[in-house]
Amino acid sequence: IADVVAPRSTVNDLRSRNFFRDLGSRAVTAAGQSNEFEADATEAARRHEDSLVDRGAELLSRIDGLRLIGAAPTRTAILSFDVEAVHPHDLGTFLDSDGIAVRAGHHCAQPLMSRLGVPATVRVSFGVYNTKEDIDRLITGIEHVQRLFGLPVVAQSVKRKAQNNNSKRKIF
């Protein structure tokens, strides 16, 4: 860490360190190539997560009665939301029974929850291991919970292969 000043911190560039000075030229070359590989892999992972969060936001926004919380132009691979007439903890419990792992609660953000006037939200986090089919399963799971609560479900225009997937694999 180079510097920490509220509200942000600055991370040192690892290449600025001199820990290669005692290594042979082959080790230095290998370490440089490793850094390039790591940077490429990190960028690929970021692009994958960005595509998932964009798809997730698009599909979640189509669900009648679902409200996405937060709309930052740049965001991490996390979406928070609530569903009208369904407490977030209930939604989280039902999704978990379908093998869809989400977080429900105040997420250590009680002042924000109070300002938004919500008791809690459901939060889904995307990672490199998630797929578009996982998002489809999430959408199907939310619609299933809405039906259980007797809420109207507007048919989505997205074809979901996951509807027939009986897998209990944990996702998200």
Active-site positions? 108
Which helix (DSSP H) or strand (DSSP E) does residue 44 occupy?
A: helix 25-61
Nearest 5 degrees, angle CA 91-CA 92-CA 98? 95
| CA–CA gap between residue 57 and residue 60 (Å, rounded) | 5
Residue entry with tokens 């698009």:
58
Which residues contact residue 106 at a Cβ distance below 8 angstroms, ignoring those fewer than 6 apart?
A: 113, 119, 120, 121
The DSSP output letter for 25 is H
CB atoms within 10 A of CB 70: 13
